[in-house]
Amino acid sequence: MFKFAEQAPFRFLSPRIHILFVVVLSVVLTCVAQTKPAPDPDVLVLKNGDTLHGKLVSAVGGKVNFHSDPLGDVSVAWENVKEIHTAGNFAVLDSSVKQRGKKRAQQIPIGKVDFSDQAVTVHPESGPSLPPIPAKNAEYIVDGPTLDKEINHHPSLAAGWNGAATAGATLVSATQNQYTFSGGVGLVRVVPTVDWLNPRNRTSADFTGSYGKITQPAYFSGDVLVPATFTKSAIFHADAERDEYFAPRFFGLVQIAYDHNFAQNLQLQQIYGGGIGWTFLKTEKQIADLKATVQYERQSFIGGTSATNENLIGSTFSLDYLLHMKLLTYTQGVAYIPAYNNPRAYSVNETNTLAFPTYKNLSFSVGTLDSYLNNPPASEPPTRRNSFQFTMGFTYAIKSKY
């Protein structure tokens, strides 16, 4: 009786339950069999003996960036590192290799990396280990997928852009009513999108503008009605440029530019040209370009005629400068635009912007736009050749996630 009572529950189970049990067991065993073991961690050994296990992110500018789950992201100078051993594949870019074009970059060896005795050794997946590279020459260490993406792929039209958008406004309601709006957007995309490879091309687009009006309502002076009056201000600038590099710091370019300045009676100035450029200063914090173009220029003036509107052949000689520091970013652009078929029809522009970081991607900014147009047509009241604008506002930094 005892034996029968023990087996009875199993003897009388429904066949459907047996089938369900077998299916569930099979699924569980399949999942266990397909579970991949966790990858081996990278190892970072400090000179004080501390050992971190995690993921080597990169090594840039003499700093080793390492991620450890308990500590998060850690940045350590090379002189404080004793050993590094990676389980994944990385590429080491030697600073003694001057040219890093696309063909040369494709030859950069990739493999597991070991660091000891202040030297880095790459162990390719096939072939012997390479000669050790002194740590001082290991300018960049990056993972294999990142290197492949930057060398063999191109960001889509909407990806890879960096820049800033600025907006400001002034409103006054008193005897006179006044409002002014100003803003701008500047975008640039460099391919590759990292600074440890030489650029292949650069695309930039920029728009700045301000619009304002001062109105004086109509009023009676005794029995005489003085009509309402208004004063308008409008300054707009837009440009786009494409650079193609034929050397790490030299490039050819094509550009278009459009300008409107109501205060100078300039309805529209159009520029279409091409030329060459030279990046004569490039450091971690500063970059400066000199550019020279040959161009077609069309000037149309408010109320102008065929005698005052001009078709010009000229050039643009410009300097663009960027200084990026922890507490501020300063940008400057200066351009001299002569005309060869009419020496009087030249202009000069200068822009300056200071941005002070406030919160995350938001900054407080101040800027100036100074423009000189030598050939405005005669008008009443007389048109001044110089126009100066000062703006304040907030700037939002646009950062690429490519």
The whole-angstrom separation of Cα 42 and Cα 55 is 5
The contacts of residue 5 (CB under 8 Å, 6+ apart) are none
Mean pLDDT of the 375-387 span:
82
Q: What is the pLDDT of residues 285-303, one digit of tens each?
A: 999 999 999 999 999 998 8
The whole-angstrom separation of Cα 318 and Cα 291 is 5
Task: Give the pLDDT of residue 221.
Answer: 82
Residue holding tokens 């109509």? 218
Work out the angle at residue 145's Cα, subtended by the Cα atoms of residues 143 and 146, and round it to the nearest 5 degrees: 70
Using omega within 30 degrees of 0 as the cis cutoff, is the peptide bond preceding 377 cis?
no
pLDDT of 70 over the 80 cut: yes
Task: Give the pLDDT of residue 201.
Answer: 94
CB atoms within 10 A of CB 251: 22
On whether the CB atoms of residues 351 and 368 are closer than 8 A, the answer is: yes
Banded pLDDT at 113 (limits 50, 70, 90): very high
How far does the chain reach from its first CA to its final CA, in angstroms?
A: 74
The whole-angstrom separation of Cα 46 and Cα 66 is 12
Banded pLDDT at 6 (limits 50, 70, 90): very low
List Cα–Cα distances, 224 to 177, 220, 221, 257, in angstroms.
22, 5, 5, 48
Q: Which CATH superfamily is domain 162-398 in?
A: monomeric porin ompg (2.40.160.40)
The whole-angstrom separation of Cα 168 and Cα 208 is 12
pLDDT of 216 over the 70 cut: yes
For residue 400, what are its two tokens?
Answer: 């690429």
For residue 284, what are its two tokens?
Answer: 């971690």
The whole-angstrom separation of Cα 145 and Cα 110 is 10
Q: Tell me the average pLDDT of the chain.
A: 86
pLDDT of 92 over the 80 cut: yes
Q: Is 32 exposed, middle or buried (0-12, 13-18, 19+ CB in 10 A)?
A: exposed
Residue predicted with more confidence, 184 or 172: 184
Task: Give the pLDDT of residue 5.
Answer: 44
Banded pLDDT at 9 (limits 50, 70, 90): very low
Task: Give the pLDDT of residue 99.
Answer: 47
Residue predicted with more confidence, 1 or 265: 265
| Long-range own/partner contacts, residues 370-373 (CB < 8 A, 24 or more apart) | 371/235, 371/259, 371/261, 371/264, 371/347, 372/347, 372/348, 373/261, 373/264, 373/266, 373/347
Q: What is the pLDDT of residues 333-362, one digit of tens each?
A: 999 999 999 999 999 999 999 999 999 899
Task: Give the pLDDT of residue 15.
Answer: 61
Task: Give the pLDDT of residue 8.
Answer: 46
Task: Give the pLDDT of residue 156.
Answer: 87
